[in-house]
Chains A and B, each alone.
Chain A
């Protein structure tokens, strides 16, 4: 079974190069990838995750709104009964914030310079567990 990933751009941030390039790389690594496009609300992201029955959710945020957005998505995932699905976050996330996000339940935070291969490997490893 192919691993199914939702790659989402929450909030008003328009920087979608990272999200799209990661989506392409995951697809090339054999995963099924759904990309939401820009300006998604936490509600619409969780709805898509539920409807598409994905294994993993990836959020890309470069605008600095990551703390609010992530806590909302985490809460909504729990409320919808898919709180067990791992969430990955990519973007410009200061180290302190990344730690706090991990504590709050975000599975992993990928900063600038992360290799595409290591993202794919991490996802595979997580889903297989």
Chain B
């Protein structure tokens, strides 16, 4: 009898002799135990004797990177603690950044308001009511200079959640660096620059897919020459998950987006061995603790295989999936909000056990409004406690080899791969988004989940069980409604003090460039430096590219 057969027999015996008799007297809590993607969760997992350890799991820092992208992981350097922040005007956000840095945060992450993300100036009628709400309002280079005042860009890495207007904000960042005397090649950070998930889940698209993809590859090309240490994209599953996807869909759709970007860049003549190293990813961490850990491991292995096998990449560094994690915003409850501190801690722990490179922990009051300085501090402290007190950072991939984790890792990878094949059959991700396939899959999961909460199949503490009278949370961050007017006045002043003839001619050049096939980054950089506004630059591109209208899927 082989070892495997022996083990199977022992397990059967155990079930028959120990489990079955017990179940007759004490049935289990649920009829079925399931993952978020409807997979079965068995009572017990045992080792797989026939597994090829080297091929499937391997060592940290080695293909297929299941156990992590660096050999020493957090024993060498902890993950970057990076809290996403930004609201109101550049002055207020600058103060919050300086506060966070003084509290031990190690990188910046900029939240922009919706007009900035969708290419409207603060005085555009479309911006009414939205200025400075979900992030900081940036209208021109002037605002960007204020945003980073007193923050040395050669020493701080900055992540910017910006997509359809990524080229403009990146140009502004480069210009601010130059004003500080920092050469572009010294800048480090990340722009999100992931337009496909905007069509799928997040909604801040401007242009149709083909023009958007061109802007992305232009950025890849420009940065590979001028900003070699800057991550030119953060391929994001975060928002896909928030929109209702389960864990498998999160990584399947994210990696399928990744495949589309890599293919587009190869088609534009770029070398995946080079730009592949500047790709980064962004995932969510929800409450399913073990499932999330397995998801991160599966994503790493799957991406390594895709880069190697599908795209023929030979440089191992270009096969590594490096990722940022944010805890799950949609898991936060408005009821009994202090409970969210606990949820965030578990989610953050899962991200660390899954080998994240950087982490944002949500604040407990975010189901009610923007976080206060106090709530943000607790969120940051949560990471610091995990890093300094729990000991989980002292060894690499400590849950690797746990029978259930390995099984779930395999299962997640397999099911995600099935989705990727399906998307290939549909003609690739751009097509699968255009026809609404991806959106529909996510919506179905979202609805199913909500119904399970409604039926109490899924318990949410404080919401559908363990409910108690709420004490109202008094301390909520309120934004000054005068921000919009202040921002409008700033633009007015800017327009009357800059060289408007120069701005117009640079915008004309940009339009001309957009009609042709030259890299658009140098055009945008020139316009930005002449203090053309974000809205003016975006409108010049709208004139040529047109605007996308969503396929409404229900």
Contact = CB atoms under 8 A, between A and B. Distances in A.
A103 interface: no
Contacts of B133: 63-65
Nearest to B370: A64
Contacts of B481: 67
A94 B372 CA distance: 14
Contacts of B476: 94
Interface string A11-23: 1111111001101
Interface string B10-22: 0000000000000
A33 to B, nearest CB: 8
A36 B367 CA distance: 25
A35 B127 CA distance: 22
B150 interface: no
Contacts of A38: 203, 550
Nearest to B367: A112
Contacts of B242: 15, 17
Contact of B369 (A12, A15, A94, A115): A94
Contact of B335 (A33, A36, A113): A113
B23 interface: no
B239 to A, nearest CB: 8
Among A33, A94, A113, find the residue whose CB has the most chain B CB atoms closer than 10 A: A113
B472 A12 contact: no
Interface string A91-129: 010110000000000000001110111000000000000
Interface string B465-489: 0000000100010110100000000
Interface in A12-58: 12-17, 20-21, 23-25, 33, 35-39
B118 interface: yes
B554 A35 contact: yes
A68 interface: yes
B454 interface: yes
A21 to B, nearest CB: 5
Given A12-B118, A64-B479, A116 B368 contact: no
A69 to B, nearest CB: 6
Nearest to B329: A15
Nearest to A61: B129
Residue of A20, A63, A92 most packed against chain B (CB within 10 A): A20
Contacts of B115: 12
A16 to B, nearest CB: 7
A25 B450 contact: yes
Nearest to B462: A113
Contact residues on A (Cβ < 8 Å of other chain), bracket: 20 to 34
B202 interface: yes
Contacts of B198: 14
A21 B447 contact: yes
Contact of B330 (A11, A17, A95): A17
A126 to B, nearest CB: 21
B101 interface: no
A25 B463 CA distance: 18
Contact of A112 (B334, B443, B447, B479): B334
Contacts of A116: 450-451, 454
B134 interface: yes
Contact of A63 (B130, B201, B243, B464): B130
15 contacts: A12-B127, A12-B130, A12-B204, A14-B201, A15-B203, A17-B330, A20-B443, A21-B450, A24-B447, A33-B554, A39-B203, A64-B370, A113-B335, A113-B463, A116-B451
The 7 closest A-B pairs by CB, nearest first: A14-B203, A68-B129, A65-B129, A64-B133, A12-B114, A37-B552, A112-B334
Interface of B: 114-115, 117-118, 120, 126-130, 133-134, 198, 201-204, 242-244, 330, 332-335, 367-370, 443, 446-447, 450-451, 454, 460, 463-464, 472, 476, 478-479, 481, 550, 552, 554
Interface of A: 11-17, 20-21, 23-25, 33, 35-39, 63-65, 67-69, 92, 94-95, 111-113, 115-117
Given A14-B201, A64-B370, A115-B454, 13 more contacts: A11-B130, A12-B117, A12-B120, A14-B204, A16-B243, A20-B447, A21-B450, A38-B550, A65-B129, A67-B129, A92-B368, A112-B367, A113-B334
